[in-house]
Amino acid sequence: MENNLWIAGYSALVTGIITFMVPGTVMMKRRARNAVEKATYYDDLCSIKNHKGFMKDAGQLLRDRTGQMAFAYIDIDNFRMINSVYSFQYGNEVLVRLSEAIREVFGEDALIGRFSGDAFGVLCHCRSCEDITGRIHELQAKVNQKCHEGKDLVLACGIHFISDEESQLDIIFDKANIARRSVKNLSNTICSVYDEDYGKKLHEENVLTEEIKEALKKKSFDVYYQPKFEFAQRKIVASEALIRWEHKEKGFISPATFIPVAEKTQLIVEIGRFVFDRVCSDIRRWSDDGMTLLPVSVNISRIELLQEGLMDFIKATVEKYGVDYSLIEIEITETAAVADYDRIEGILREIKSLGMSISIDDFGAGYSSLGCLNKLHVDTLKIDRSLITDLSCENKGRKILQGMIELSKNLELKTICEGIETEDQFNTLEMFNCDYGQGFLFARPMKEADFRRMLIS
């Protein structure tokens, strides 16, 4: 009797435990499935769909679509620099804020995903081109508000309007990506709509990128020197080092063609270091040959200026060739000077501490910032050639140019005008008490051997 009661009690206990555990097991399985799905289809950082999740839902949206749809490919134009200059933690904060801004602008009806790094995708219905481009500009404004402490946070967006016949997601994404790449590093726009010409242009840029890499590997670039002329003594007192490329098949390729591509692909850093190394090597050779040494200015791009390890490279190269720091002048553009005062100021101060001088190039080409002259301790102001093209007596540009030269002198800066091609320009600048001139009137950029002969003669 007792055994039967014990068995009955035990059975009831087991049944109760099983009854209790089954719902728990189902719940655990459901949670496990949700966790797997989240890990598979969602981005942990931004709490939106990842690339795989986006692709899964986008296919269904396109099959069920009614009305015009567009895909926007969005990233941050200079995100790599943000990570390297500020920190990866700050970069992650920017990505979270950007994803929040995208959700706010495009709303719950749009499919939003983070593909990788700073690349985001948006699939949405739209009424017109103006509708979606307007939302992109609204997005830029929101990002500026959310990341107001950031520096130069500029979006790049490519848009593709999806035709009724299109359903292949990879092709749709590629077209938007081509449009996105077309606006990279442009100062006047943040978004572009795809057209077939972009594909051709992108292919040409990809080919040129590979050729630049090959030229760097084989040292096919050359460095030319353009003399700088002093008005008072009427003689050559310095020079500027300029990159030149004679392609073995295509002939001469203008820097205006390959430098923008090099900046997009970060190859400008290798090009800048190639030029700096060559200049130090040439100065060493001129010294060994007993030549009178004149200062040489070397252009450093904004990307290169903010590159980690720049100062170590400069020191190592100068010491490698045993040249005097005072024989090298660093030229930075006006836009680089005004971009990030605090960061740039520290780097330039370190460069000057070595004994090198600093010049602001292309001053007046875009928007001149007098603040940078007040805050950055530079030595020379190089006035852009665009300001001396028309120096007629009634021209406002003539007064602006004269005012810039007077300002430069009041700030105790050396002044050099580039692009001088006529005697009239020379006479006007001399009357304005300009210190130095550079241009075809004096000499064109020339090979090192020709520059050497000019100095010896």
Cβ–Cβ < 8 Å for 52, 41: yes
- Distance (Å, rounded) from C-alpha 76 to C-alpha 150? 12
Please tell me whether residues 186 and 218 are part of one structural domain. no
Please tell me whether residues 190 and 244 are part of one structural domain. no
Query: What per-residue string of b and e applies to 389-411 under the rule 16 or more CB within 10 Å gives b?
Result: eebeeeeeebeebbebbeebbee
Label each residue of 142-190 as H, E or C.
HHHHHCCCCCCCCEEEEEEEECCCCCCHHHHHHHHHHHHHHCCCCCCCC
User: What pLDDT shows up at residue 8?
Assistant: 47
User: What pLDDT shows up at residue 2?
Assistant: 44
Reduce the DSSP state of residue 235 to 3 states and report it: strand
Residue 92 in domain: yes
Q: What phi-psi label fits residue 115: left (phi over 0), alpha (psi between -120 and 50 degrees) or beta? A: alpha
Please tell me whether residues 134 and 81 are part of one structural domain. yes
Residue 24 in domain: no
How do the pLDDT tens digits run along the chain, 457 residues long? 444 444 445 454 445 544 455 555 656 656 656 555 666 889 989 999 999 999 999 988 888 888 889 999 999 987 877 777 778 888 899 999 999 999 999 998 899 999 988 999 999 998 888 899 999 999 999 988 888 665 567 899 999 999 888 888 888 998 999 889 888 756 668 899 998 777 777 788 889 999 999 999 999 999 999 999 999 888 999 999 999 999 988 999 999 999 989 988 889 999 999 999 999 999 999 999 999 899 999 999 888 888 888 999 999 999 999 999 999 999 987 666 666 667 788 888 999 999 999 998 877 765 555 666 777 788 998 988 888 877 766 677 788 888 889 988 888 899 999 999 999 999 999 999 999 999 999 999 999 999 999 888 7
Residue 14 in domain: no
Please tell me whether residues 226 and 305 are part of one structural domain. yes
Cβ–Cβ < 8 Å for 113, 48: yes
| Domain total of the chain | 2
The structure's pTM equals: 0.68
Beta-ladder partners of 50? 114
- Distance (Å, rounded) from C-alpha 151 to C-alpha 161? 32
The set of residues, in sequence order, having a beta carbon less than 8 Å from that of 183 and lying 6+ positions away, is 77, 156, 157, 158, 189, 190, 191, 192
- Distance (Å, rounded) from C-alpha 305 to C-alpha 308? 8
Residue range of the domain that includes 119: 48-194
Tokens of 145: 């508000």
Please tell me whether residues 283 and 186 are part of one structural domain. no
Cβ–Cβ < 8 Å for 118, 76: yes
Which of 142, 176, 194 is the endpoint of a domain?
194
Which of 194, 222, 241 is the endpoint of a domain?
194
Surface-to-core class of residue 16, CB atoms within 10 Å of its CB (0-12 exposed, 13-18 middle, 19+ buried): exposed
